Amino acid sequence: MSNQRPIGVFDSGVGGLTVAREIMRQMPDERIVYFGDTARVPYGSKSRVTIIRFVRQIVRFLETKKVKAIAIACNTASSYALDTIEAEVDLPIIGVVKPGARTAIRTTVNRRIGVIGTDATINSGMYPQYIHSLAPDIEVFGKACPLFCPLVEEGMLHDFVTEEIAHRYLTELKGRDIDTLILGCTHYPLIRSLIGKCMGPGVQLVNPAYETAVSLRDMLREKDLLAAPLPAGSEPHHEFYVSDGAEKFENFANSILPYDIRKTQVVDIEGYSMEKING
C-alpha cells in the first residue's frame, strides 16, 4: 500500500526549510506542502498560548491541503504545542525536539551537551527533560540565542554582525566543557559553519533535521503511508505557502533547496481556526 498525499511541514519562517531539505533528500518520492509563518516570525519570543493558537491555525490550513502527516519543523512550536496538537488531531505528527535529543545522546562522549534555541525553547526545558528521561547522567546546558532567527530571516548568514553576536552568545557555553551542541532551532543549521567556528573542533554540532526525517520515514512506513516510487527522472511537485512576503521567502528558499520553487502563495492564516478542525 502507498499513499500519494503530501506531508505538511511548517515553521515560523525559512528555518523549517532545513527540515524540508532533509525530507526531500531522504524521501525523494514524497510531496511536501510547506508553510512558513513569515507574517508572525519570530515565534521564540511569544507565549505558549499564542504559539498553540498559531499552530492550530496552521494545522487546520495543512488539513485543507489533505496532508497525510505533519512535521513541525520548528523547535519552539514542538516544545510548546506538539503534545496539545497531537491530542486534538487525527494525523501522525512529528516534532524536532525528540529526534534531536536522541542524536545528541548518541553523539556525546563526555556526557555534557549544550542546547541553543529560542527563548521559548530554552525556557520550556523540553530538551533537558527529554534527555534526562533517556539518560539521567547527562548534563545539559541551555543558552537562548534570540537574535539568530531574525538574522537568518534577513539572510545575514555570513555577516560579521552575526559572527559577533554568535561569539557573545556562545562564550558562556564554551566554558562548560561540552562536546556536543544541539542546534535547537531550525534556523541555526543555516549558520552552522559560523557556530562551528565559534565552538571549535572539539564540539560536535547536532542538526535535528536529519534524525527528524529518519523518524518521519519510519513513522510513515509503520503506518503504510509512504509514497510509491516516482517514475525515473521525475520529481515530486512541492507546494510553498507563507503568511507574508512571498517573493523574499521564495528567493531564500531557492538559494538553499535542491528544488526550484516556481510559485509561493500567501495565505490568510488568521482565517483558519480550531473550531474548523473539529467541525
Site of interaction with ligand DGL (CB under 6 A)? 11-12, 15, 41-44, 74-76, 117-118, 121, 149, 185-187
Query: Which one, of 165, 166, 118, 152, lies nearest residue 18 by Cα?
Result: 152
CB-nearer residue toward ligand DGL: 39 or 230:
39
CB-nearer residue toward ligand DGL: 76 or 204:
76
Instruction: Assess whether 145 carries a catalytic annotation.
Output: no
Choosing from 74, 145, 149, 198, the catalytic residue is 74
Report residue 120 CA to chain centroid gap. Answer: 14
Q: Give the dihedral of Cα atoms 63, 226, 72, 109; nearest 10 deg.
A: 170
CB-nearer residue toward ligand DGL: 7 or 41:
41
Choosing from 145, 149, 185, 198, the catalytic residue is 185
Half-sphere exposure of 89 (CA within 13 A, CB side): 27
What is the closest distance, in whole angstroms, from the C-beta atom of residue 31 to ligand DGL in the complex? 22
Sheet holding 180-183, edge to edge: 139-144, 112-117, 180-183, 204-206
What is the closest distance, in whole angstroms, from the C-beta atom of residue 57 to ligand DGL in the complex? 15
What is the closest distance, in whole angstroms, from the C-beta atom of residue 14 to ligand DGL in the complex? 8
CB-nearer residue toward ligand DGL: 72 or 226:
72
The Cα 152–Cα 174 span in angstroms is: 22
What is the closest distance, in whole angstroms, from the C-beta atom of residue 121 to ligand DGL in the complex? 5
Instruction: Assess whether 185 carries a catalytic annotation.
Output: yes
Task: Kindly state the cell numbers that stand for 274.
Answer: 480550531
CA–CA distance from 116 to each of 89, 143, 173, 193, 270 (Å)? 29, 5, 9, 15, 30
The one-letter amino acid at 37: D
Residues acting as catalytic residues: 74, 185
